[in-house]
Amino acid sequence: MQVLQLLLSGIAQGCIYGLIALGFVLIYKATETVSFAQGDLMMLGAFAAFAAMTLLGLPFWLAAVLAVAALVAFGALLELVVIRPILGQPQFSIVMLTIGIGYVARGLITMVPGIGTETHTLPVPYKDQVWSLGGLVVNVEQAVVIAATAVLCGLLFAMFRYSKLGIAMQASSQNQLAAYYMGIPVKRLNGLVWGLAAAVATVAGILLAPITFVHANMGFIGLKAFPAAVVGGFGSLPGAIVGGLVIGVVESMAGFYLPDGFKDTAPYIVVLAMLMVKPNGLFGEKLRKKV
């Protein structure tokens, strides 16, 4: 029963890692760039939901929808104004730019009087509720995280499989030049991908906020989501979720059975082991170049 309890906790935390890792993979597949601002987009989304509930007095579900919509617009605008002008430059420049975006986001939040420097609780309707299933105690917050992740993954699968927009995104991610010649608006799609990545990060932030509170530094969890993307395979959307689950379960088990300190280092030990055994990740594609 104790193992089941740890597995449940690890799966719930792994779902958060997986959702943030989805943003990494979406942006990488569309633009072949790595955005280290995903964790901070998650933080902005959580603060947007908190502001909508506390300042505007909106109910939780409406505040969540409004926060997601706001971050979609913010992500698309960020790609248009900041990212697009430097596409084609060395990868290191884009990586440093996304790291800088994260620092700017945290700095702007901390400048908001009475909000940015404090730790807040997101008043969700299912806060502190538990279900008892035999000897297993299920926290409703964790159950909502797992259920919402499953629903979101199903919606993303349906979008990429059946909608024209999703098919166009897949085509653009495989070969942007060929997609452009086929009449696909690649630049517009890149903006939509950044907006979609910001939306997924916002959902992760809203799900995480009742568990760890809302604060300016909550975006640092993105540093653990990055190993999830590597473990799953950086070009695979299902791999991002599976990698997140692996990291979450390993972290949960390490925190209970191993000495202090191993919980925070366990994700990176898993990444090192994966890079040695299977460098492309669990679901990564093998890429070859002919010279």
Which whole-number Å values give the CA distances from 35 to 82, 83, 159, 242, in the listed order?
12, 10, 23, 20
Q: Say how far apart CA 141 and CA 57 lie, in whole Å.
A: 22
> Is a pLDDT exceeding 60 seen at residue 285?
yes
Most confident of 43-47, 125-129, 237-241: 43-47
Which whole-number Å values give the CA distances from 45 to 66, 70, 93, 130, in the listed order?
10, 8, 26, 26
245-252: average pLDDT: 91
Q: Say how far apart CA 44 and CA 18 lie, in whole Å.
A: 18
The pLDDT tens digits of the residues spanning 255-278 come to 888 887 788 888 888 889 888 888
Phi/psi of residue 59, nearest 5 degrees: -65, 165
**pLDDT score, position 286:** 61
> Is a pLDDT exceeding 80 seen at residue 225?
yes
Calculate the dihedral angle through the C-alpha atoms of 243, 245, 98, 54, rounding to the nearest 10 degrees: 160
Strand partners, 133: 136
pLDDT band, residue 176 (cuts 50/70/90) = confident
For residue 164, count other CB atoms closer than 10 A to its CB: 9
The pLDDT tens digits of the residues spanning 136-160 come to 788 888 889 999 999 999 998 888 8
Report DSSP state, residue 284. Answer: P
**pLDDT score, position 288:** 53
Q: Please give the model's pTM, rounded to 2 decimal places.
A: 0.90
* Tokens read off for 42: 């998650």
The pLDDT tens digits of the residues spanning 182-224 come to 888 888 888 899 999 999 999 999 999 888 888 888 888 888 8
Task: Tell me which long-range contacts 151-157 makes (C-beta under 8 A, separation of at least 24).
Answer: 152/19, 152/200, 152/203, 153/241, 156/22, 156/200, 156/237
